[in-house]
């Protein structure tokens, strides 16, 4: 939620019973303005809160001219003092998956540790080697924010535009989806680097508007462990399906 409309947005999200106190709201409205100025962000978003045992983590994200590039995530324990999170690299994600278990403690310096025995070499030269993986909670927090963004950061189609130069910006003329279009899953997009879009054929790409259809729609999601939708089930959802006659019996 945009920091400039934070109070209104928090009221809309309060229906689930999890919200912020009036003191936390007041602190955020002040500190996010300072955060935007100090880091020279074009926009600051309040990402949410991750619960911890000792303290909770409040997460904010700052973006520059391009909404998808150089996005920075920050955390605070008191809604006033903000600290940058490191970028979630592939090696960090792997280490966190291996070592971090249980709930967040609320201490960013807390260290998780995992030790395992690995076989090094082959045949008669094989030896056992004890490997210890250590990762702090700040890295775990960065990984959690990155993973949630990849899976759950969703925007309506048309809310963002991509210029011919590749810059992604908010669409100031976007007024929301009408009720009919809002009921269609294909009009909601993952706000991350596209994966499925790169696999589309030239014919499929010709039906898309490159200015607004540069992200993966939720209608193309295939849940982990699920099966790829058959052509008939895709057609039933109203998708355009091309069958290869050379593969038909």
Q: Look at the chain and count its residues.
A: 249
The pLDDT-based confidence of 8 (bands split at 50, 70, 90) is low
Sign of the CA dihedral 211, 198, 63, 32? positive
Q: What pLDDT does residue 239 have?
A: 44
Task: Tell me the per-residue pLDDT of 37-87, one tens digit each, with 9 for 90 and over.
Answer: 999 999 999 999 999 999 999 999 999 999 988 899 999 999 999 999 999
Give 89's DSSP letter.
-
Q: Going by C-beta distance under 8 Å and a sequence separation of 6 or more, which residues neighbour residue 215?
A: 155, 160, 189, 190, 191, 192, 194, 197
Range with the lowest mean pLDDT among 28-32, 97-101, 227-231? 227-231
Give 217's DSSP letter.
B
The pLDDT-based confidence of 164 (bands split at 50, 70, 90) is very high
The pLDDT-based confidence of 197 (bands split at 50, 70, 90) is confident
Q: Could you tell me the CA-to-CA distances from 90 to 177, 181, 231 in Å, in that order?
A: 36, 37, 34
Average model confidence (pLDDT) across the chain: 85
Give yes or no for a contact between 220 and 196, defined as CB atoms under 8 angstroms apart. yes
How large a percentage of the chain has pLDDT more than 90? 63
């Amino acid at each position: 939620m945009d920091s400039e409309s934070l109070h209104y947005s928090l009221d809309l999200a309060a229906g689930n019973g999890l919200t912020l106190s009036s003191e936390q709201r007041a602190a955020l409205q002040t500190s996010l303005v300072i955060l935007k100025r100090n880091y020279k962000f074009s926009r600051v978003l309040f990402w949410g809160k991750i619960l911890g045992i000792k303290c909770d983590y409040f997460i904010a994200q700052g973006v520059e001219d391009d909404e998808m590039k150089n996005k920075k995530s920050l955390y605070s324990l008191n809604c006033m003092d903000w600290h940058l999170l490191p970028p979630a690299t592939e090696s960090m994600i792997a280490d966190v998956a291996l070592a971090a278990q249980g709930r967040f403690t609320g201490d960013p310096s807390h260290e998780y540790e995992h030790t395992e025995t690995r076989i090094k070499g082959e045949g008669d030269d094989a030896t056992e080697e004890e490997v210890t993986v250590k990762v702090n909670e700040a890295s775990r927090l960065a990984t959690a924010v990155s993973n949630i963004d990849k899976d759950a950061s969703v925007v309506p189609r048309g809310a963002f535009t991509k210029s011919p130069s590749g810059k992604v910006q908010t669409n100031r003329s976007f007024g929301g989806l009408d009720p009919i279009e809002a009921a269609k899953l294909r009009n909601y997009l993952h706000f991350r680097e596209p994966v499925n879009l790169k696999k589309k054929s030239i014919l499929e790409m010709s039906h898309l508007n490159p200015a607004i259809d540069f992200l993966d729609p939720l209608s193309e999601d295939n849940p982990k462990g699920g099966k790829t939708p058959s052509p008939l089930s895709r057609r039933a959802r109203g998708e355009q399906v091309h069958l290869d006659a050379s593969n038909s019996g």
